[in-house]
Amino acid sequence: MRKALTLACVAVLVGCTTPAQRAAQVEREVDEMITVYGPACEKLGYAADSDPWRDCVMRLNARDHFDRYSRMPTTTSCIGHRGFFNCTTF
């Protein structure tokens, strides 16, 4: 019960962030992506701070996120009757 209450409080506090705070968070995430993937894209032959280089950084980040989160267990629930099913995967 204590964990649920703590998580609920954290969720409420996260929802209270201002647009400026959210923008700062996104900026930090972009800076981290550039730090992590920028050198790899330069080694692949993309000129730094060019549009293809930015695309390379975004693609490498997306690939790593997909690889990391695609291994999580999923659950599929189906509701309905013969011939009419509505299935949801979490």
How would residue 88 be classed by pLDDT, with cut points 50, 70 and 90? confident
| Model pLDDT for residues 2-50, shown as the tens digit of each residue | 666 676 666 666 667 788 888 999 899 999 999 999 999 999 999 999 9
How would residue 87 be classed by pLDDT, with cut points 50, 70 and 90? confident
pLDDT at residue 37 in the model: 94
pLDDT at residue 59 in the model: 93
pLDDT at residue 4 in the model: 66
User: Which residues, at least 6 apart from 90, have a Cβ–Cβ distance to it below 8 Å?
Assistant: 74, 75, 76, 77
pLDDT at residue 85 in the model: 81
pLDDT at residue 36 in the model: 94
Distance CA(26)–CA(41), nearest Å, equals: 21
Q: Residue by residue, what is the 3-state secondary structure of 10-49? A: HHHHHHCCCHHHHHHHHHHHHHHHHHHHHHHHHHCCCCCC
Q: What is the helix, strand, coil percentage profile of the chain, to 5?
A: 65, 15, 20
